[in-house]
Structure 1
C-alpha cells in the first residue's frame, strides 16, 4: 500500500465521520472511548476502540565536497568479536576529506524519512489492549563526484520502501505482554557523557558504552511489570526472526527511576535457537546509573560481554564515568572512558583510554558559549593519540530563531614503529547553523561546515511531526 493512499484514506475516514455517515462507516463523532481510556491527540473513536494516529516527515539535503575517504582521528576499541561487523565494537572515528579525483568533485545526499504510526486501543479485563503499527519509508539518494553512489545495488544501503517497522500486539497496564515485530526492551541508557564534544569511543558505540554483540528486537515476546517504588522488571525472547547461529536471544532488565536517580542493569544471551555451541553463542551486560544532586550530576556506566570462539572465547569490557556541575552562569563537565578485553583465542587486547571536558557559560539570556575537547589514547603500541578541541556559540536571536557556530581542530599524533609510520596531522574547521522553529511542530535549519583540508558541506533540514 502506498503511503499517499494510506494518508488519504485516514483523512477521508476522519472527514466523513459526520452524523450522516457514522452508521455506514462505523465511526462515531463522539470521542468517549478515547476519553475513557485517557487517550488524546489525533484520534478516531468507534464504539469499542480508540485509534491514535501520529507521524512525521523529515527531509535532509547535503551538498559539497566531503567524500574523498575519511581520515582517522581515533582507532577505537577492537573487541575481537567474530560476528559480522554490524554487531562489532570495531570502528574508527574519522573526519571528512575532499575528493582528489579529476573532473567534478561535487557530492550530495538527499534523504526523506517518513513515519506513520497507528495505535488502536480497547479495554480488556487485563488492562488496555493495543495493536501498534509503525510504518516507515526512507528515500535516500547519494552522489559522489557527481556519480550515483551504489552499495549492494542501491543508492544507499538504508534506503527502503514503505514497510512495517513495528507491528505488534500488547495488553496490560502495570504488567504488559507484547508480541510481534518490535524494538528491544534492552535498556542501554544512562551512559552518555555530559561534556559537549562527547568522547571518541562513546561516539563509535552510539554515544555511550557498547551494548554488546547479542542480536535484539525483531520478532519478540516480551513481558514488563512494575514492582512499585520506581522499580520495573522486563524479560523477553527477541531476534526470533534472525537466521542461523544468531537466532533467539533472551533479554532481562531491572531498572529504577526515582526523583534524583535513574539506574538499570540489562543482560542478554544470544544464539539460543539452534541448540549448538558456535560463534552465535554470545552474551552482554549493560549497566548505568545517573544521579542529580542540587548543582551536580554524576553518571557511571559499564558494559561487558563476549562469546564462544574455537580455541578460546573472546570478551570485552567498556566503562564510562561523567560528571557535571552548575555554578550560576557556568557549567563544567568532565568525562572518561576505558575499554579492554580478550581476543578470540585468548590473547589479551590492549586497553584504550579517552578523556573529555568542557566549560559552558550563559553570557546573557539566550546566549551561551561552550569550550571543550576530547582525547583518545589507543592502547596499540606505536599508534598516535587523537584529539579534538572546540569552541561553540549558541544564540537565540528570537523565540523562533537560533544560531549555532563552532570552530575547532581535529588531530592525530605521529604513528611510529611497531605501527606503520605516519606523520602527525591536524585539521581546523568552522561551522555555522541557523535554526528556525516557528511552531506547529515544524523545524528547519540551514548550516555549513568548512575544513582546512578543503572539504566542505552545506546542509538543509526540514521536519514536521504530528500526534
Structure 2
C-alpha cells in the first residue's frame, strides 16, 4: 500500500473539520514519492523510495508436422528464411512425423527510484525464465539402427530436443542509473546502440531483412553488445541525443560462447569490451541515427568494428526510409555490407509500399556473392473493420549467376469480428527457379486473435503447406505494470 493512502486514511480517521485542513490535503498528496517522481502503475512507496513492479507471462504451444530436413520442393531456406517442412523419419516401414513444442517465457522486473541532486536515481533488477521443450518426429532419430520396440532400444527421446532453458530464473538485468537529461548507467543490461529506422514498410517485408531479424544488420554478436556495461546518455535539446557506452565487459564468460568444453579463453578475452557511440535525432517528421561500434578494445586492439545508420522521413501522405550497415572483422579479414530503402504512400483507403535491399562482402578476403531483393504491397480498407493486403517479394541469392532466385506472393484478409476478436486469413506461394523436384510451395494460414483487455492476449492459428507440412499454434500472454 502506498504511503499516501496510509496518510490520507489516518487524516480521515482523525476527522478533518476545517477548510484549512482540507486545503492541506494537496500538500499531503505530494508526500507520495511515486507521484512526485512521475511514476505510475503497480508501485510500493516509502518515505523516499518508489518501487515499481512489472512483469509478463507468455505461453506458446505448437503441434503438427513442421520440422525436419525437407530436401525437395521449394528451397526451405529461401533468402535465408526457413519455410516449415515435413521432414519425417521413416524406419522399418513406420513413419514418425509429429512435431510439437511448448514454451513458457516469464519475466519480473523491479525498479526502485529515489530523488538525488543529479536527478532520479534507480536500481533495476529483472528476473527472466525461459522453459522450452521441442520434439521432432516424435523424438525418434537415426541412432541406434534398431527399430522401436526392440529390447534394449534407446530412441532419440524428447529430452534430446530441449532447446532453450530449464525454466530456472536468471538475472537478465541488474543495473543502477542516475540522472535526468544526462543519465549514467552501470551494471548488466542491454545496449545503448540504436538499430532502428531500418525495417521495410511493405507488408511481407524482405527476405534478407527477415534473416537479420528485420532491417539491415551485420553479423550478430560481432561486435557483441550489452552485458556488463558503463553507459552515458545525454539529451542536447532540439531533438538531438548522444549516447556512449563501454559494453560487453563480461565477454570472457564461457557461457557467452556456447559449450564451455570448446571455449577459447584467449579469443574470448580478446573480444572483451565494445565501445559504442550513438547520435540520434527526432523531430519535424524525421527520425535518424548513426551507431558506431568497436569490439575488443580492452586489450588495446580493435578486433572488429561496425556501423549502423538509418533515417525515416514522414511527409504528409508519404514515408521514406533509408538504412545501411557495415562490419569489419579484422582478425579474419571478413567484411559485410547491407543496405535497404523503403517508401510508403497513403491514399484515402489505399496504402502502397515498395522496398529494396542488397548485401555482400568478403570472407577471409575473398568476395562473397552479392545478393539483392525487392518487395511491394498494397493494402486497402474495404469496409469498416475489414482490410486486405496483397504483396510479393523476390530475392536473388547470387546476382552473378542464374537459377538462384526465390519469390513469395500472398494475399491477406483481416476482419474485426468484435471489438476484442480479430480474424485473419492468408494464402500464398513460395517459388524458386532453382533445380528442385518441385518449384513451388502453396500455403494457407488462419488466425483468431482475442484481446479482451487487461493486457491479456490470446490467439489460435494454423497453417498448411503444399510440401505436406502443417502447424497449429496456440498463444496466450498477460502483462502487468
**Aligned equivalent of 2:86:** 98
Matched, 1:343 2:363: yes
SS at match of 2:210: helix
- What is the CA–CA distance in structure 2 between the aligned matches of 1:296 and 1:123, rounded to whole Å? 43
**Which moves more between the two structures, 382-391 or 148-157?**
148-157
Q: Deviations over 1:83-110 (max 9, x none)?
A: xxxxxxxxx2121111332333111111
**Which moves more between the two structures, 131-140 or 382-391?**
382-391
Q: Which of 309, 318, 340 does residue 320 from structure 1 map onto?
A: 340
- What is the CA–CA distance in structure 2 between the aligned matches of 1:188 and 1:341, rounded to whole Å? 20
1:378 Cα offset (Å): 1.5
1:315 Cα offset (Å): 1.3
Q: Which runs of 5+ in 2 are unaligned?
A: 11-27, 141-155, 253-267
Root-mean-square deviation over aligned CA pairs: 2.4
Q: TM-score, with normalisation over the residues of structure 1?
A: 0.85
Contact 1:74 / 1:378 at 8 angstroms: preserved in 2?
no
**Aligned equivalent of 1:81:** none
1:201 Cα offset (Å): 0.5
**Aligned equivalent of 2:404:** 384
Matched, 1:112 2:134: no
1:196 Cα offset (Å): 0.7
- What is the CA–CA distance in structure 2 between the aligned matches of 1:322 and 1:138, rounded to whole Å? 35
- What is the CA–CA distance in structure 1 between the aligned matches of 2:170 and 2:87, rounded to whole Å? 35
Contact 1:50 / 1:121 at 8 angstroms: preserved in 2?
yes
- What is the CA–CA distance in structure 1 between the aligned matches of 2:29 and 2:163, rounded to whole Å? 44
Structure 1 residues 101 and 423, CA gap change in structure 2 (3 angstroms): closer
1:364 Cα offset (Å): 0.5
- What is the CA–CA distance in structure 2 between the aligned matches of 1:362 and 1:318, rounded to whole Å? 34
- What is the CA–CA distance in structure 2 between the aligned matches of 1:65 and 1:36, rounded to whole Å? 55
1:271 Cα offset (Å): 1.2
**Aligned equivalent of 2:276:** 251
1:147 Cα offset (Å): 1.7
**Aligned equivalent of 2:248:** 239
- What is the CA–CA distance in structure 2 between the aligned matches of 1:349 and 1:236, rounded to whole Å? 32
- For residues 289-438 of structure 1, the aligned pairs below 5 Å read 289-309=311-331, 313-344=333-364, 346-379=365-398, 381-415=401-435, 422-423=436-437, 425-438=439-452
**Which moves more between the two structures, 222-231 or 64-73?**
64-73
Matched, 1:228 2:237: yes
Matched, 1:461 2:475: yes
- What is the CA–CA distance in structure 2 between the aligned matches of 1:74 and 1:263, rounded to whole Å? 32
Q: Deviations over 1:393-451 (max 9, x none)?
A: 00001100000100000112124xxxxxx456110000000000011111100010011
- What is the CA–CA distance in structure 2 between the aligned matches of 1:331 and 1:195, rounded to whole Å? 9
Matched, 1:36 2:2: no
SS at match of 1:146: helix
- What is the CA–CA distance in structure 2 between the aligned matches of 1:308 and 1:93, rounded to whole Å? 28
- For residues 443-462 of structure 1, the aligned pairs below 5 Å read 443-462=457-476
1:276 Cα offset (Å): 5.0
Structure 1 residues 18 and 154, CA gap change in structure 2 (3 angstroms): farther
SS at match of 1:156: strand
Q: Which runs of 5+ in 1 are unaligned?
A: 1-12, 23-27, 77-91, 416-421
Structure 1 residues 210 and 137, CA gap change in structure 2 (3 angstroms): same
Q: Deviations over 1:175-203 (max 9, x none)?
A: 00000000001100000000110100000
Provide the aligned length of Structure 1 versus Structure 2.
420
Matched, 1:206 2:213: yes
- What is the CA–CA distance in structure 2 between the aligned matches of 1:373 and 1:49, rounded to whole Å? 53
- What is the CA–CA distance in structure 2 between the aligned matches of 1:40 and 1:98, rounded to whole Å? 49
Contact 1:325 / 1:331 at 8 angstroms: preserved in 2?
yes
SS at match of 2:41: coil
